[in-house]
Amino acid sequence: MFESLARPLTVVAHDAGAANHIFAWLGGEQARLCLAGPAQTLWQLHIKKSMQSQAFEFDSIQRLNFPQTHFEQNELATALIGAATVITGTGWESNLEHDARKIARENGIHTIAVIDHWTNYEDRFIRNGEQIFPDEIWVSDSYAVEIAKSVFPTVRVVQHPNAYLAGLVAEVEFLQLNDSSMGNERVLYVLEPIRHLWGEHDQLGEFLALDYFMENFKHVAISEDAQIRLRPHPSDPIGKYDAWLLRQANPRLTLDRSSSLAEALGWSTVVVGCQTYAMVLAIACGRTVISSIPDWAPPCVLPHMEIIKMGDVCSF
């Protein structure tokens, strides 16, 4: 997929979603990397997994050569000097990726933006009223192709195989074979920041959904004896859910301490969340997947029919 791209190649990423796809596609390609935030942490984990990947095989981590040059966030302009192609994420947590596309446009550098979800496509390319679209958009499924072509009729949209999903599924399957804790119902709740208020509520949506889940999980056939682990989103600050957990006073409800999402999914039998991409990965891993968005909140935007909607079940 990189054969036709002009070189040198620079990758700029901050948020976790697109970074996971880019790293899985990148493999051993020669590139300059300008990473920050969750993407920087994920890159280190990506390298670590690659070095430990002899026990199972999937293309995205089999290449143990990483010929990348690294730049800090404040070295973005330097990372783009002489570049012919720039691949960026499209996250919300930083202006880094937007700034990269802006500098690239000003210098005639071809830009590719990776979209990893199914919401707010146009807003991803606007900062402080400034709108900068890329030359190409890369996605990894047919749902996203349809949305992107509708929202960006003049931008080339390309679908590539979901190497990140394939790699994670292979890793989860390997971990399942080595899991000795089978038998009990194990619920992994994958958290995410909710950036819009729901109705007149002033509490963050992620906490409203958590409360709704705890009040209604029996309606979706989850046992009272189930173990429940909360897995924070990569962008969540440390300790964000500590006070909420303390108020629950439930010994079966704990914070997930797994070293990776694959390890957490390998432990689980059921996966619950609002509308995070981790739920899509869970579907591919054969888990029962439930959206905890209440019936009075905006509906789950994930287009996958396999997801059980608590709001629909509990509204009857």
Percent of the chain with pLDDT over 70: 91
Instruction: Give the domains, in start order, of the chain with CATH numbers.
Output: 9-161 (3.40.50), 179-314 (3.40.50.2000)
- Residue 58 confidence (pLDDT): 47
- Residue 313 confidence (pLDDT): 83
Which is higher by pLDDT, 64 or 187? 187
Mean pLDDT of the chain: 88
- Residue 127 confidence (pLDDT): 94
Strands 126-127 and 130-131, how do they pair?
Answer: antiparallel
Segment 83-92, tens digit of pLDDT: 999 999 999 8
* For range 236-261, the mean pLDDT: 93
Say if CB 290 and CB 308 are below 8 A apart: yes
pTM above 0.95, yes or no: no
- Residue 204 confidence (pLDDT): 84
The sign of the dihedral angle between the CA atoms of 162, 163, 169, 173 is: positive
* For range 136-154, the mean pLDDT: 96
Closest CA to 108 of 88, 83, 126, 89: 83
- Residue 55 confidence (pLDDT): 46
- Residue 56 confidence (pLDDT): 45
- In this prediction, residue 145 has a pLDDT band, given cuts at 50, 70 and 90, of very high
- Residue 62 confidence (pLDDT): 42
Segment 270-305, tens digit of pLDDT: 999 999 999 999 999 999 999 999 999 999 999 999
What is the spatial distance between Cα 59 and Cα 10, in angstroms, rounded to a whole number? 22
Asked if residue 263 has pLDDT above 50, the reply is yes
Segment 62-75, tens digit of pLDDT: 444 556 788 889 89
Tokens of 30: 């020669």
